[in-house]
């Protein structure tokens, strides 16, 4: 079953912060975050594993609440280059991801 | 590394024709995934290979779709016969597993239009 992302869209000014949420109805082993710009492929940002391990982008942070089956992506001091659609992908076991519907982020000057 | 390489980048075909999409994963990655992206359905997993073996093909829409991975450096996704509702961007992604999962690297995608 597809994870649910919120909000569906957000508009920011440069320098503002944003939080994107991802929740699943199933127990999770890992959560991935990707950013996709228009006409391009999704690009890996971060992976969070059950047990607390994280691997990924230095300037972006995320959290993973295993009990609530939720993850949040924190974008601080946003830049114009942060614009795009953010997807969370969840895996119950192994490395097979189901992606959420995406959150459109627009950063304006 | 050149990343995940997909071909063709664009494909326009007539309904009923056979379409073959190709993918070369990153060398050393042992997992390969085919996804389809549309506005209505988002990113859908079609099939997942691990060490060249199909592990999960439950996302393949119907018998018109088939996928193969004859070796670690090549995979194909075939649609025969194609239908207009197959129009989408098809992504191939590869990843590795070494005491835990790593992120996916996506190819540039194949934009398929069936008319």
In A, what residues contact B, Cβ < 8 A? Answer: 2, 30, 32, 34, 40-47, 49, 53, 55-56, 87, 89, 91, 94-102
Residue A81, classed as helix, strand or coil, is helix
Overall average pLDDT of the B18-46 stretch = 96
Q: What is the pLDDT of residue A95?
A: 84
Contacts of B36 in chain A (CB under 8 A): none
Q: B46 or A53, which is more confident?
A: B46
**Is B102 part of the contact surface with chain A (CB cutoff 8 Å)?**
yes
Share the mean pLDDT of chain A.
91
Q: HEC states along chain B?
A: CCCCEEECCEEEECCCCCEEEEEECCCCCCEEEEEEEECCCEEEEEEEEECCEEEECCCCCCCCEEEEEEECCEEEEEECCCCHHHCEEEEEEEECECCCECCCEECCCEEEEEC
Residue A44 to residue B48, Cβ atoms within 8 A: no
The label of the residue with tokens 């949420």 reads: A21
- Quick one: average pLDDT of B47-66? 93
**B16, pLDDT greater than 80:** yes
B4-20 average pLDDT score: 98
Convert the pLDDT of each residue in A24-51 to its tens digit. 998 888 999 999 999 999 999 999 987 7
Give bridge partners of residue A62 from the DSSP assignment. A73
Hey, is the C-beta of B51 within 8 angstroms of any chain A C-beta? no
Instruction: Say whether pLDDT at A59 is over 90.
Output: no
pLDDT at B1: 67
State how far the alpha carbon of B106 is from the alpha carbons of A23, B90, B93, B109, in Å.
23, 10, 4, 8
Decide if A88 contacts A21 (C-beta within 8 A): no
């Amino acid at each position: 079953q597809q994870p649910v992302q919120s909000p569906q869209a957000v508009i920011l000014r440069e320098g503002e912060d944003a939080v994107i949420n991802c929740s699943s109805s199933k127990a999770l082993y890992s959560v991935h975050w990707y950013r996709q710009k228009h006409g391009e492929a999704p690009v890996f940002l971060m992976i969070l594993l059950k047990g607390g391990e994280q691997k990924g982008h230095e300037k972006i942070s995320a959290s993973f609440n295993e009990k609530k089956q939720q993850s949040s992506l924190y974008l601080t001091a946003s830049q114009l280059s942060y614009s795009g659609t953010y997807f969370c992908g969840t895996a119950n076991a192994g490395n097979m991801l189901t992606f959420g519907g995406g959150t459109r982020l627009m950063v304006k000057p | 590394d050149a990343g995940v390489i997909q071909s063709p980048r664009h494909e326009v075909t007539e309904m009923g024709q056979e379409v073959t999409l190709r993918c070369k994963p990153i060398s050393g990655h042992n997992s390969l995934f085919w996804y389809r992206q549309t506005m209505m359905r988002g990113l859908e997993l079609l099939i997942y290979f691990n060490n060249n073996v199909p592990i999960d093909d439950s996302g393949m829409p119907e018998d018109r779709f088939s996928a193969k991975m004859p070796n670690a450096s090549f995979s194909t996704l075939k649609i025969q016969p194609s239908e207009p509702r197959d129009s989408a961007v098809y992504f191939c992604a590869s990843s590795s597993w070494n005491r835990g999962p790593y992120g996916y690297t996506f190819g540039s995608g194949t934009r398929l239009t069936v008319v």
